[in-house]
Amino acid sequence: MTTPPRLQLAGITKRYPGVVANDGVALTVQPGEIHAVLGENGAGKSTLMKIIYGAVKPDAGELRFDGQPVHVRSPQEARQLGIAMVFQHFSLFETLSVAENVWLGLARALPLAEVARRITETAAAYGLDIDPARPVHTLGVGEMQRVEIIRALLANPRLLILDEPTSVLTPQAVDKLFVTLRQLAAEGCSILYISHKLHEIRALCSACTVMRGGKVTGVCDPRAESNASLSRLMIGAEPPALEHHERAPGAPVLQVSQLALKRESPFGVDLHDVALEVRAGEVVGIAGVSGNGQRELLFALSGEDRRAPAASISIAGQPAGHLPPQRRRALGLHFVPEERLGRGAVPEMSLAHNLLLTRREAVGRLGWLRTGALKAQAADIIGRFRVKAAGPGAPARSLSGGNLQKYIMGREIDARPKLLIVSQPTWGVDVGAAAQIRAEILALRDAGCAVLVVSEELDELFEICDALHVIAKGQLSPAVARQGATVEQIGEWMSGLWHGDVQRHLNRMEPHDREAAHAAP
């Protein structure tokens, strides 16, 4: 007898007001198969995964697991079947520790100390370094993603669903994760893999189901496809090539010198003598493994942490280390945080009202809101950035992760900032949207805006940046021109190994050039 499919879906349909998220979806996953689900933002991928995991109830259709029809009514029932899921939007309790969050998804018979021990072992084995005792609210998004992955791995799943698992992981961590996934598949675990990174799908997966507008539009073997052909299957076209025009930058807009801050959390990172400059008409990137001081640096730059000496941070020539966020916005700073829901947008508020977090154009005299202008402004951003939403009145939480990211980026880019600081600009967005966001960043730069990008995607940084830094253990490397940098060099620097490279570079300089380099911030 032939082995039945691990998972088989037929006619899965899910409707929401104004949209059909899944429309008669069929999907088959074999035992030990790594199966990709590919589609642009809003294609219905995440809704389908939540149906399989029991987090969403379908309106119609049948689900079979190992050949048997099942009704998965909750994530608990899914876990009992052997289904584990890593969500794109993390499902973690921020007030609990890493170990407590993992323990909630495992058999309660295990003592917490044993769970902590297993976390440490799994983290070491798979290169997903994490401290089991850390409260989740002290973690960056990359570290939270590690917690989600470890929690899923400890459940010993028979079907593992991964929704954008590598969106904020470094290339080294991605390579280690792929080794783990191939090993799991060899042991019989089936894997459903959602990603917008086409090269990952081609390298990892042996089957691919393509979705568009809630429907399945094709099934293919991604190993036989190119990035271009997968793009055409997913969005109907290839993303346009970026045009990176060489331009001489203008005057400094952001200057950071001798910025040293003690961590506010016992699990945070101290910043050590950070020196940084971003000029008008320039994109500067910061690479690094999550948890090496990015969070602390961004808090200091955005004004959420105002402990820095006034002169250590300068915006448009004005000392700003002590200024609150709204005063920094008045100087031309706009900021996109890495956490979309909760910091980038208020989940329950409409897209129109979320504009008020950073935009004040629709606020009239005495604080009255000009609601018509506010809705028109939101509608313009929705149209320009091709955000899939039910209009300006749609609550932020109703958008898919990628569409919310497009809206938040559009909100800040549309403000025509003098200085834009953005963390993880294309986290979770499809290839077409990523190309558009990167093109908009370059257009801002060409218009004279100074842009600072913090990202864990090295390909992205090499594509849009003029200069690169690396952050490791709270220290910032010297800047290196994009043309003179390599992925291998930046990867080494992410471990804090830039001091030898810098010294070798200085040794090759003429004496007067070496003195100037030492004198530079």
What amino acid occupies position 262?
Answer: K
- pLDDT of 500 reads 57
Boundary-marking domain end, from 173, 205, 235: 235
**Average pLDDT for residues 372-384, to the nearest whole number?**
94
On the question of pLDDT at 521 being above 80, the answer is: no
pTM above 0.75, yes or no: no
Q: Are residues 14 and 74 in the same domain?
A: yes
What confidence tens digit (pLDDT) does each residue in 430-443 have? 788 888 899 999 99
Both 209 and 264 in one domain: the answer is: no
Nearest Cα residue to 324 out of 297, 342, 344, 304 = 304
> Which residue in the block uniquely carries the two structure tokens 């029991």?
54
User: What is the model's pLDDT at position 170?
Assistant: 67
Percent of the chain past pLDDT 70, that is, above it, reads 94
Is the confidence at residue 287, as pLDDT, over 90?
yes
Q: How high is the pLDDT of residue 511?
A: 45
DSSP annotation of 97: B
| In-domain check, residue 350 | no
Q: Is residue 13 part of a domain?
A: yes
Encode 386-405: b = buried (16+ Cβ within 10 Å), e = exposed.
ebbbeebebbbebbbbbbbb
- What pLDDT sits at residue 245? 77
**d(C-alpha 168, C-alpha 140), whole Å:** 10
SS3 (DSSP) at 28: strand
**H or E segment to which residue 412 belongs:** helix 401-413
DSSP 200-238: HHHHH-SEEEEEETTEEEEEE-GGG--HHHHHHHHHSSP
Listed residues 210, 235, 260: the one ending a domain = 235
DSSP conformation letters of 415-460 = T--SEEEEESTTTT--HHHHHHHHHHHHHHHHTT-EEEEE-S-HHH
> By the 8 A CB rule, do 148 and 105 touch?
no
Domain membership of residue 86 (yes or no) is yes
* Shared-domain flag, residues 212 and 265: no
Arithmetic mean of pLDDT over the chain: 88
Q: What range does the domain containing 65 cover?
A: 7-235
User: What is the structure's pLDDT at 518?
Assistant: 43
The CATH number of residue 268's host domain is 3.40.50.300
pLDDT at 501: 58
Q: Of 200, 235, 270, which one is at a domain's C-terminal end?
A: 235
pLDDT of residue 33 exceeding 70: yes
Max avg pLDDT among 194-208, 236-250, 485-499 = 194-208
Model confidence at 509, in pLDDT bands (50, 70, 90)?
Answer: very low
Q: How confident is the model at residue 508 (pLDDT cuts 50, 70, 90)?
A: very low
- pLDDT grade for 57, boundaries at 50, 70 and 90: very high
Q: Is residue 405 part of a domain?
A: no
User: For residue 502, is pLDDT > 60?
Assistant: no
Q: Which helix (H) or strand (E) holds 253?
A: strand 252-261
Please tell me whether residues 41 and 147 are part of one structural domain.
Answer: yes
Query: Tell me, what's the pLDDT at 1?
Result: 55
| Number of compact structural domains in the chain | 2
For the chain, give the percent of residues with pLDDT over 90. Answer: 56
Same domain? For 140 and 256 the reply is: no
Instruction: Flag whether 160 is in a domain.
Output: yes
Give domain status of residue 88, yes or no. Answer: yes
229 and 258 both lie in a single domain: no
Q: Does residue 488 form part of some domain?
A: yes
- What was the pLDDT predicted at 107? 65
pLDDT recorded at residue 142: 75
Say yes or no: 199 and 313 in one domain.
no
DSSP-assigned states of every residue in 126-174: HT----TTSBGGG--HHHHHHHHHHHHHHT--SEEEEESTTTT--HHHH
For residue 383, pLDDT beyond 90: yes
Position 459 pLDDT exceeds 70: yes
Q: Does 97 fall in a domain?
A: yes
Same domain? For 260 and 182 the reply is no
In the prediction, which pLDDT does 168 show? 64
Is the same domain home to 158 and 262? no
**143 and 258 both lie in a single domain:** no
For residue 275, what pLDDT band results from cuts at 50, 70 and 90?
very high
When pLDDT is cut at 50, 70 and 90, the band that residue 503 belongs to is very low
pLDDT of residue 513: 46
Query: Do 181 and 321 have their domain in common?
Result: no
* 295-342 pLDDT, tens digit each: 999 999 999 999 999 999 999 999 999 999 999 999 999 999 988 888
The verdict on 231 and 258 lying in the same domain is no
Mean pLDDT of 463-470: 94
| Structure confidence by residue, pLDDT tens digits, 88-145 | 767 788 899 999 999 987 766 789 999 999 999 988 877 777 899 999 988 877 788 8
| Phi, psi (rounded to 5 degrees) for 68 | -105, 135
